Amino acid sequence: MQAFDMAKLLQATHQLQSRVKKAQQELAREEVSASAGGGLVEVTTDGTGAIKKVSIDAAVVDPGEVEMLEDLIVSAFAEAQRRARDNMENRMREAAGGFPGLGGLGGLPGLGNLLR
């Protein structure tokens, strides 16, 4: 049986922290877009899900269609957030993939919730 090596664990922890920090910085620079209504409304977020831009086709800007426009914006934003969250989870999994005992983070209860 191999002895527990605290120094190796600490080194691996520091490496994991560095990879996670790098992945978070990269995510903040990335853009994720999604559209609704066949492209009439598009929402762009950064990789963490923060809204950066909302684009609305002039064809849907009709005073009588405000409710539809609001629904399209909510729909596009929800999809952009979902895509950003999926991307972030994948990046964090990649960043932690080499950490001993984590197996790509699959075995950590509740970690997926922390990334949401």
Indicate the fold that domain 32-97 takes in CATH.
Ybab; Chain: A; (3.30.1310)
pLDDT at position 108 over 80? no
Q: What are the residues whose beta carbons fall under 8 Å from the beta carbon of 3, sequence distance 6 or more?
A: none
For the entire predicted model, the pTM comes to 0.52
Closest CA to 106 of 93, 90, 88, 91: 93
Mean pLDDT, range 62-89, rounded to an integer: 85
pLDDT at position 13 over 50? yes
Mean pLDDT, range 12-24, rounded to an integer: 86
Domain boundaries, the chain: 32-97
Question: 80, 45 in Cβ contact below 8 A?
Answer: yes
Closest CA to 114 of 87, 97, 92, 96: 92
Mean pLDDT, range 38-62, rounded to an integer: 85
